[in-house]
């Protein structure tokens, strides 16, 4: 048949479960094409990188397909790859274009199944009394699999040239039987049924604060929000889905501890000291696993730094790290699945619950804006004072201390970002992130050298591995020295007269406003 199908002007109609297309049989003959059925599993990450990237990734009978999310129904795939086994990370895909697309969409995140359903498609030819095909119907449906239940059935009238009037009669017949324009998306329905609704994930949420918000109310809001992120990451840790769950969990614990130390006098000091100690212990119990994750993620980079002749021997070190990681994963899972851990986290959450009241503290009812701005300005001046003493011969410990102070300042500015006026946060945080990045590179190179030396002491490697380790340590040392030079450049920028003027203008609260008995007590 050479007729051209046309969709223009004919809406996609949602059909009632019954009677479907039966209303048409009284006027036309219905000739059905073979039914096409595909059971699709949809994949995405914890951060919904595929979805918010504008795509859908699904598999059907070991074939992975990536398609744009613009159309209501999974459309023609952009890229596909046959995979006899399930894939989790972008590195496991072999097809170049698909691998590259997923690298950008997934990052370090691993894939998990977010929904599955049965998609059916069937074409029908509609013939008049003369036996002429007047239009074609495309019938689609989507059903849950367990238990099987139809969620949506739609019909698209595809008119053939010269029979547009008859096609409109078909549409009228369907609408008369209860069909209506379809506004629903089949993938959305499956996600709703699975309980996996796409949502934005961030470690830097807004907290709805105002400068006049009482400090205890503000800090409580922040801590509760960050504890919710802690809880959200626990399932991923327990199932070892990817390394980012533990990474973000540790960041949240560190941020909460830092906040409670930087904004003192808001809660009873003894209680806060105990909570900070608890959170610190929980973070330290995952230190080794995080270290191993960092080394293994850098495996290809490290091997690329040494001559090819050393790479096979040096690979054995990463194999040792991988074996050790398996043990550490079991330890961390056992820790986070234990009733003792759950009780500790419950007690921390309970302490900051909205309905819990605590004894008075010097800064509890003070407006959070002036209180925090004063702390930000004081932290910045402390960084500038430390920076003035940084030289080419400053020990690594001195650089490390500067890094910690910068991290504390960044946390304060991130937590209270919505209180900072205009474009100030963007400008200052950009400079701070650049400085922190270089301090982090310096610290990473230092820590990695120490770790490699420790590995050499504990494993007494053979000569080839020892030579490879020596070469790698030398390269890391050179990186560290290069970072030291770049740190100096970033410090000059961050502590410049122009930046200092912005900090002073924005955060230097007038003495008449903050030098009260309550503020003095809060600063003790």
Average pLDDT on 248-262 reads 96
Residue 393 banded pLDDT, cuts 50, 70, 90: confident
* Domain end point (choices 194, 224, 258): 194
Q: Is the pLDDT of residue 484 over 70?
A: yes
pLDDT confidence of residue 511: 54
pLDDT digits (tens, 9 = 90+) for 402-431: 999 999 999 999 999 999 988 777 888 889
Q: Is the pLDDT of residue 388 over 50?
A: yes
Domain span at residue 175 reads 12-194
Q: Is the pLDDT of residue 8 over 80?
A: no
Where would I find the H helices in 338-423? 339-351, 368-388, 396-415
CA–CA distance from 372 to each of 187, 212, 229, 450, 518 (Å)?
Answer: 45, 11, 23, 37, 14
pLDDT digits (tens, 9 = 90+) for 54-95: 999 999 988 999 999 987 888 889 999 998 888 999 999 998
Number of domains in the chain: 2
pLDDT confidence of residue 20: 72
316, 127 Cβ separation under 8 angstroms: no
pLDDT confidence of residue 21: 84
pLDDT confidence of residue 1: 34
pLDDT digits (tens, 9 = 90+) for 186-219: 999 999 999 999 999 999 999 999 999 999 999 9
Q: Is the pLDDT of residue 479 over 60?
A: yes
Q: Are residues 188 and 237 in the same domain?
A: no
pLDDT confidence of residue 22: 84
Of 352, 362, 355, 371, give the one whose Cα is nearest residue 212: 371
Q: Are residues 391 and 429 in the same domain?
A: yes
For the chain, the average pLDDT equals 90
Q: Is the pLDDT of residue 2 over 70?
A: no
Q: Are residues 175 and 220 in the same domain?
A: no
* Domain end point (choices 136, 161, 194): 194
Q: Are residues 167 and 224 in the same domain?
A: no
pLDDT digits (tens, 9 = 90+) for 319-345: 999 999 999 999 999 999 999 999 999
pLDDT confidence of residue 456: 86
Counting other chains too, the contacts that 73-82 makes at CB distance below 8 Å and 24 or more residues apart are 73/119, 73/140, 73/186, 74/40, 74/119, 74/187
Q: Are residues 119 and 190 in the same domain?
A: yes
Q: Are residues 390 and 488 in the same domain?
A: yes
pLDDT confidence of residue 467: 86
Average pLDDT on 263-284 reads 95
CA 209 to centroid of chain Cα atoms? 24
Cβ count within 10 A of residue 277: 11
Identify the CATH number of the domain in which residue 335 sits.
Answer: 1.40.20.10
Q: Are residues 156 and 258 in the same domain?
A: no
Q: Are residues 125 and 255 in the same domain?
A: no
Residue 513 banded pLDDT, cuts 50, 70, 90: low
pLDDT confidence of residue 524: 47
């Amino acid at each position: 048949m050479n007729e051209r199908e046309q969709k223009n002007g004919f809406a996609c109609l949602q059909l009632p479960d019954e009677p479907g297309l039966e209303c048409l049989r009284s006027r036309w003959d219905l000739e059905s094409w073979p039914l096409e059925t595909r059971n699709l599993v949809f994949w995405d990450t914890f951060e919904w990188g595929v979805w918010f990237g504008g795509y859908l990734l699904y598999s059907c009978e070991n074939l992975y397909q990536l398609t744009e999310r613009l159309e209501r129904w999974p459309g023609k795939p952009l890229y596909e790859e046959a995979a006899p086994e399930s894939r989790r990370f972008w590195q496991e895909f072999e097809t170049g274009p698909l691998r590259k697309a997923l690298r950008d969409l997934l990052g370090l995140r691993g894939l998990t199944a977010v929904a599955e359903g049965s998609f059916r498609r069937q074409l029908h030819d509609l013939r008049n009394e003369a036996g002429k095909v007047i239009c074609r119907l495309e019938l689609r449906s989507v059903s849950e699999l367990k238990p099987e239940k139809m969620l949506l059935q739609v019909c698209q009238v595809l008119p053939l040239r010269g029979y547009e009037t008859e096609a409109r009669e078909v549409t009228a017949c369907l609408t008369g039987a209860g069909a209506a324009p379809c506004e629903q998306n089949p993938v959305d329905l499956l996600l709703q049924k699975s309980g996996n609704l796409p949502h934005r994930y961030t470690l830097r949420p807004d907290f709805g604060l105002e400068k006049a918000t009482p400090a205890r109310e503000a800090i409580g809001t922040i801590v509760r929000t960050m504890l919710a992120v802690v809880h959200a990451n626990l399932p991923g840790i327990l199932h070892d889905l990817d390394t980012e769950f533990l990474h973000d969990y540790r960041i949240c614990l560190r941020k909460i501890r830092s906040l409670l130390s930087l904004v003192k006098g808001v809660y009873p000091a003894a209680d806060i000291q105990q909570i900070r100690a608890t959170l610190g212990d929980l973070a330290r119990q995952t230190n080794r696993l995080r270290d191993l994750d960092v080394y293994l993620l850098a495996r290809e980079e490290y091997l690329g730094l040494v001559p090819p002749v050393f790479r096979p021997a040096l690979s054995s070190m990463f194999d040792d790290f991988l074996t050790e990681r398996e043990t550490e994963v079991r330890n961390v899972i056992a820790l986070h699945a234990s009733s003792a851990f759950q009780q500790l986290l419950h007690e921390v959450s309970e302490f900051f619950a909205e309905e819990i009241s605590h004894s008075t503290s010097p800064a509890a009812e003070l407006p959070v804006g002036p209180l925090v701005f004063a702390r930000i300005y004081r932290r910045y001046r402390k960084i500038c004072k430390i920076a003035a003493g940084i030289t080419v011969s400053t020990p690594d410990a001195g650089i490390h201390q500067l890094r910690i102070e910068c991290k504390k300042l960044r946390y304060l500015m991130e937590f209270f970002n919505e209180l900072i006026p205009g474009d100030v946060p963007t400008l200052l945080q950009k400079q701070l992130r650049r400085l922190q990045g270089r301090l982090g590179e310096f610290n990473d190179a230092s820590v990695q050298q120490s770790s490699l030396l420790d590995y050499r002491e504990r494993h007494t490697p053979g000569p080839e591995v020892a030579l490879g380790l020596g070469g790698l340590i030398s390269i890391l040392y050179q990186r560290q020295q290069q970072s030291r030079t770049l740190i100096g450049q970033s410090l000059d920028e961050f502590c410049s007269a122009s930046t200092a003027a912005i900090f002073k203008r924005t955060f230097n609260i007038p003495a008449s406003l903050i030098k009260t008995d309550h503020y003095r007590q809060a600063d003790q």
